[in-house]
């Protein structure tokens, strides 16, 4: 058996600590019954507070090549005085199949007591690793709660900056990011933007979902809450630093999504960010495009079940050609010939007004509902404040009853505010309709004018910007 003896003494000439020679003699005496050869590694005058010791590093390198079977030392603290360093060394030797024997501490994995100690050390090593991981995560979480950048992959168009001693992000490519949001909201696909800007669709998708770029306001605060974020800070026009925190390392389902007001200036209005975020989410739930069969692929839906019709191939005709059909997976409606659908839609595009396609989100019914909700919230707010004021003068029992009632009203107010959020989002989005109409009208004219010269992919890309969908009820196809 080949034994590596590791010997260390912190300070040369220190008479109070055991000498290098004495350590070697004790180790050799321990193994005298075994037929052993010894390889000596000694660090004389090196502290055990670090593993940056020449002989120790050489020993660990030699262990990788199975230069010995056992590493022996006088005491555990000869290997290291740092618990983490010792446990790391223990784990490294264990993985290499090399036993660690500490003579004076009676630690020898070849004995029953030594095996028990080895199991205990392995458990301590695992616990220490988990503690380090938890401290690192908690440190990042603490930075995130302050809106600071905790490291990792840089969001697109950003650079790290130091403000008041903390690391934050600053948006550099403002115009390019605004262009991406604007074009995507008007119907340009991620693939088209990817080719134009030489960015991957994944990068663009991450950018669109990142709240870092939002100009924070009450609308964005409430919307992020509906997405499951815990939102911290007051809206001030800055962007949000987002972070995912796992409260329990062993349960990946218990993630806390944080969105914290940071120090970077937001550049995308909340209504535009929400619009593009929702559009991306709807696109991600769509089935893959069937290229080459129809420029209306994924635009035709069943008016009965609301599902997108897929394109299927018909039987071969006498001349060898085949017809293509739009089909409902639930078979709610009969098949729709692709050529018939394309002809009807193209004719309708020539004749219709775009204003008819876009719903007037700010109609009278919405306005009435919005005002009604505001009145209800104000009324309940007054009731709650009145109960709280009266509770201060009431007996303890009556005060508790009043406070319970006030809490119930508070919960009702919160529910009403959530409903109000939908109308506020609609109201903000309606401001963009005029510009959107002009843009879509230009695209529609280009589509009709250049139709015969466009490739299938170009037709699909343009119709995506023009049309939301077409509904097929089994008899008629209607633009929506």
Name the residue among 4, 96, 21, 91 with its Cα closest to residue 55.
4
Q: Which two tokens stand for residue 38?
A: 């010894």
> Which pLDDT score is estimated for 252?
47
Sign for the pseudo-dihedral over CA of 182, 183, 185, 191? negative
Distances (CA, A) of 95 to 99, 133, 201, 343, 385: 10, 21, 42, 70, 66
- For residue 238, give the H/E element and its range: strand 238-246
Name the residue among 249, 215, 51, 17 with its Cα closest to residue 6.
51
Contact of 405 with 393, CB cutoff 8 Å: no
Contact of 109 with 99, CB cutoff 8 Å: yes
Distance CA 143, CA 141 (A): 5
Q: By three-state DSSP, how is residue 190 classified? A: helix
Q: By three-state DSSP, how is residue 39 classified? A: strand
> Which pLDDT score is estimated for 23?
92
Compute mean pLDDT per 10 residues along the chain, 480 residues long, and list them: 90 66 91 89 86 92 91 88 79 88 84 76 71 68 70 87 87 94 89 91 91 93 89 90 63 66 92 91 65 81 89 80 86 90 89 59 59 83 79 73 82 81 62 68 87 88 86 87
Contact of 171 with 239, CB cutoff 8 Å: yes
Distance CA 474, CA 336 (A): 8
DSSP 336: E
Max CA separation in the chain (angstroms): 106
What residue segments make up the domains of the chain, in order of their start?
2-137, 158-284, 286-480
Question: How much of the chain is helix, strand and coil, in % rounded to 5?
Answer: 50, 20, 30
Residues in the chain: 480
> Which pLDDT score is estimated for 353?
65
Q: Report pTM.
A: 0.43
Q: Which two tokens stand for residue 261?
A: 């007001």
Q: Return the number of other C-beta atoms located less than 10 Å from residue 177's C-beta.
A: 22
Contact of 109 with 100, CB cutoff 8 Å: yes
Distance CA 278, CA 275 (A): 5
> Which pLDDT score is estimated for 276?
92
Q: Which CATH architecture has domain 158-284?
A: Alpha-Beta Complex (3.90)
> Which pLDDT score is estimated for 116?
78
* CATH numeric code, 2-137: 3.40.50.1390
Distance CA 25, CA 31 (A): 10
> Which pLDDT score is estimated for 85?
80
> Which pLDDT score is estimated for 361?
44
Distance CA 107, CA 76 (A): 9
What are the DSSP calls for 239-262, one per residue? EEEEEEEESSTT-TT-EEEEEEEE
Q: By three-state DSSP, how is residue 361 classified? A: coil
């Amino acid at each position: 058996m080949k034994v590596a003896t590791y010997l260390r003494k912190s300070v040369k000439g220190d008479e109070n600590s055991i000498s290098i020679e004495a350590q070697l003699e004790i180790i050799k005496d321990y193994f005298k019954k075994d037929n052993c050869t010894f390889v000596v590694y000694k660090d004389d005058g090196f502290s055990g507070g670090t593993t940056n010791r020449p002989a120790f590093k050489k020993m660990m390198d030699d262990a990788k090549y199975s230069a010995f079977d056992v590493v022996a030392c006088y005491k555990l603290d000869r290997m290291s005085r740092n618990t983490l360093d010792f446990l790391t060394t223990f784990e490294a030797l264990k993985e290499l199949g090399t036993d660690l024997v500490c003579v004076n501490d009676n630690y020898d994995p070849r004995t029953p007591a030594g095996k028990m100690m080895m199991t205990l050390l392995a458990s301590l090593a695992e616990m220490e690793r988990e503690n380090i991981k938890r401290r690192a995560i908690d440190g990042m979480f603490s930075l995130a709660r302050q809106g600071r950048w905790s490291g990792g992959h840089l969001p697109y168009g950003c650079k790290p900056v130091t403000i008041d001693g903390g690391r934050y992000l600053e948006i550099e490519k403002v115009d390019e990011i605004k262009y991406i949001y604007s074009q995507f909201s008007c119907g340009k696909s991620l693939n088209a933007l990817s080719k134009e800007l030489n960015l991957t669709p994944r990068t663009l998708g991450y950018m669109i979902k990142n709240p870092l770029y939002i100009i924070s306001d009450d609308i964005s605060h409430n919307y992020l809450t509906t997405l499951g974020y815990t939102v911290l800070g007051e809206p001030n026009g800055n962007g949000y630093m987002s972070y995912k925190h796992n409260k329990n390392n062993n349960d990946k389902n218990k993630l806390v999504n944080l969105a914290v007001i940071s120090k970077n200036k937001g550049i995308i209005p909340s209504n535009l960010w929400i619009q593009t975020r929702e559009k991306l989410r709807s696109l991600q739930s769509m089935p893959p495009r069937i290229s080459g069969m129809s420029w209306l692929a994924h635009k035709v839906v069943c008016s009965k079940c609301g599902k997108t019709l897929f394109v299927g191939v018909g039987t071969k005709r006498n001349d060898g050609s085949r017809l293509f059909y739009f089909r409902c997976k639930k078979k709610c409606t009969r098949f729709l010939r692709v050529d018939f659908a394309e002809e009807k839609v193209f004719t309708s595009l020539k004749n219709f007004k775009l204003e008819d396609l876009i719903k007037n989100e700010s109609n009278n019914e919405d306005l009435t509902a919005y005002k009604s909700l505001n009145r209800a919230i104000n009324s309940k707010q007054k009731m709650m404040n009145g109960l709280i004021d009266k509770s201060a003068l009431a007996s303890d029992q009556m005060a508790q009853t009043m406070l319970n009632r006030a809490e119930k009203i508070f919960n009702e107010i919160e529910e009403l505010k959530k409903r109000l959020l939908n109308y506020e989002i609609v109201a903000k989005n309606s401001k963009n309709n005029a510009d959107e109409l002009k843009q879509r009208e230009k695209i529609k004219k280009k589509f009709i004018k250049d139709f015969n010269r466009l490739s299938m992919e170009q037709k699909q890309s343009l119709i995506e910007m023009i049309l939301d969908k077409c509904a097929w009820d089994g008899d008629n196809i209607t633009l929506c």
